[in-house]
Amino acid sequence: MDSIVFCCISTGEYHFPNRKAAEIALNTVLAYLDKGSGLKRIVFNVFKDIDWEIYKSGFTA
């Protein structure tokens, strides 16, 4: 496997905080990459403009 896609789970109907979801997703991916996963492409699939802005801003988790 050389690519993976994540979506913003529970940030819609279940109202999980968008920024916290992004932090968890990014930290998890970074930890996985540190283990030498070999992934070449990671996609964060977002549905809301707020999520797009959070990921686009390039904040570091």
> DSSP code of 48?
S
Predicted TM-score of the model (pTM): 0.75
What pLDDT shows up at residue 28? Answer: 87
Q: Spell out where the chain has E strands.
A: 3-7, 41-45
How does pLDDT run across 27-43, given as a tens digit for each residue?
A: 888 888 898 888 889 89
Domain spans, the chain: 3-56
What pLDDT shows up at residue 60? Answer: 54
> Residue 54: exposed, middle, or buried by beta-carbon count in 10 A (0-12, 13-18, 19+)?
buried
